[in-house]
Structure 1
């Protein structure tokens, strides 16, 4: 049996802010709070189509009171400007005070060999709000490995 080991490619972090203040205000707009370039130039040819990426993000989120519409905050992750993951934190229209939440996100990606063979894959995370919200401490990280371990 031919066993191929898992090949570690790269690990990167983007620490946009280690503290809550000053935050990034989202007022009917979006803000990039993480941008990493995972290096894939050392992938072996046999592993180019077997790359796996794990992405993690953390945000301390404060969502302001909204009396007209639900104040949703959407988190979107892009690979080389292509959306690969999106999730929405639903605001509460009945909320009468600012809500404070800790948001943890884990996403995975199986990038195409054509992206892997360029030598670097760019991952970006964006937060956007329908009304008003603030991003406090925030970080984004990613790990790329290749192989099937069989």
Structure 2
């Protein structure tokens, strides 16, 4: 079947470097998109849907501080971490210093099952957390994007 474009969405939590939201051991909800997939079913593509997801988060650490930062993407959660199916998780060690770290990027993909596609919309949520409750902030851009397509050629 020909490639079928289904949907594309963008979520902007912050679009500048003026933030100071604390990143703690409790995951912070920083991205949320709902991709429309219903059009895949009548075309016979419900089991051939693929989703491409990208995101970025600017993080700052205190002087001489270190932290493990975890980014997680869930499918069909409620916007609270742990309520959806985890499709991506990565933990990065960031070293301390008196400078801001470069923004952290995430690139992920998902092949949702046909029964999820046939519901008509798939919700994807992006969370960020730290292994410490002090000194780590979301200071820069936090943006989450996704697109869905289907078919084989």
What's the TM-score bracket when you normalise by the shorter of the two chains?
A: 0.7 to 0.9
What's the TM-score once normalised by structure 1's chain length? 0.87
How far apart are the structure 1 equivalents of 2:55 and 2:20?
16
Look up the SS of the partner of 2:19 in the other structure.
coil
Quick one: distance in 2 between partners of 1:128 and 1:65?
19
Corresponding position of 2:13:
16
State how far apart, in whole Å, the 2-side matches of 1:106 and 1:16 are: 17
Q: What are the equivalent positions in structure 2 for 1:4-43 lying under 5 Å apart? A: 4-43=1-40
Structure 1 ranges of 4+ moved more than 2 A: 63-67, 95-99
Name the residue aligned to 1:119.
Answer: 120
Residues 99 and 21 of structure 1, relative CA distance in 2, 3 Å threshold: closer
Name structure 2 gaps, 5 residues minimum: 77-83
> C-alpha distance in 2, partners of 1:82/1:66?
35
Aligned equivalents of 1:114 and 1:124: distance in 2? 19
Q: Secondary structure at the match of 1:148?
A: coil
1:29 shift after superposition = 2.4
TM-score, normalised by the number of residues in structure 2: 0.86
Residue correspondences, number: 142
* Higher CA-based Rg: 1
Would the aligned equivalents of 2:59 and 2:104 in 1 still touch at CA under 8 Å? Answer: yes
Instruction: Give the RMSD, CA atoms, in angstroms.
Output: 1.6
Q: Does 2:152 match 1:148?
A: yes
In the alignment, the residues of structure 2 paired with residue 84 and residue 121 of structure 1 have an alpha-carbon distance, to the nearest angstrom, of 13
Shift of 1:146: 0.3
2:81 aligned partner: none
Q: What's the offset of the Cα at 1:63? A: 2.3
Are the counterparts in 1 of residues 53 and 145 from structure 2 also a CA contact under 8 Å? yes
Alpha-carbon shift at residue 61 of structure 1 (Å): 1.4
